[in-house]
Amino acid sequence: MQTARCAAHEHTAPRNGCTCGIYAWYDPPARTASAGTAELVAGAVALWGQLELHAHGMRAEHAVLVALALPLSRGAKRTRLVAAAAALGVPAVPARRLVATASAHGEPIARWMRPPDLEPNKRKAPGPPDPARLHMVADGYRR
């Protein structure tokens, strides 16, 4: 289990307007996303405590890794990932099984709870950053 701590301020992480917290996307990356790198792997986490929801992901106070996704390749990366999963005590599952495996540890954030993406044009020149909007505090990680 990991608990976020703010390195910049004396407050519980995450805090609205700050960047602290444990980051996670709502949806797993494409199965081929890790193919081009030796380091990037996909996994699933259960989050609880204070959460700040954003359009594509969230920041959390507490997290625990619940699964790692096996890479498509059968080389050294897969061997290292299986060893890491065993050392961490989590299953290494095919990417197509990641969501189902994670579902044993809790519910995904419902789509209606996710705030809209107010900046869908990512190629637009960035303006001043808007403070993140606090939408929800959620508790209740189910064992």
Of 12, 18, 29, 105, the residue at the interface with Zn ion (CB under 5 A) is: 18
C-alpha Rg value of the chain to the nearest Å:
16
Query: For Zn ion, which stretch binds (CB under 5 A), given 19-27, 63-71, 103-111, 129-137?
Result: 19-27
6 binding Zn ion? (CB under 5 A): yes
Q: Which two tokens stand for residue 104?
A: 């044993």
20 binding Zn ion? (CB under 5 A): yes
CB nearer to Zn ion: pick between 70 and 132: 132
5 binding Zn ion? (CB under 5 A): no
DSSP 3-state helix, strand, coil percentages of the chain (rounded to 5)? 15, 25, 55
Residue 18, Cβ density class (10 Å: 0-12 exposed, 13-18 middle, ≥19 buried): middle
CB nearer to Zn ion: pick between 20 and 95: 20
The one-letter amino acid at 86: A
Query: For Zn ion, which stretch binds (CB under 5 A), given 20-28, 46-54, 92-100, 120-128?
Result: 20-28
Of 4, 15, 53, 59, the residue at the interface with Zn ion (CB under 5 A) is: 15
What residues contact 48, with CB distance under 8 A and at least 6 apart? 60, 61, 62, 106, 138, 139, 140, 141
Residue found by looking up tokens 């594509």 in the block: 56
Binding-residue total with Zn ion (CB under 5 A): 5
The one-letter amino acid at 110: A
Of 2, 4, 5, 9, the residue at the interface with Zn ion (CB under 5 A) is: 9
Residues in the site for Zn ion, rule: CB under 5 A? 6, 9, 15, 18, 20
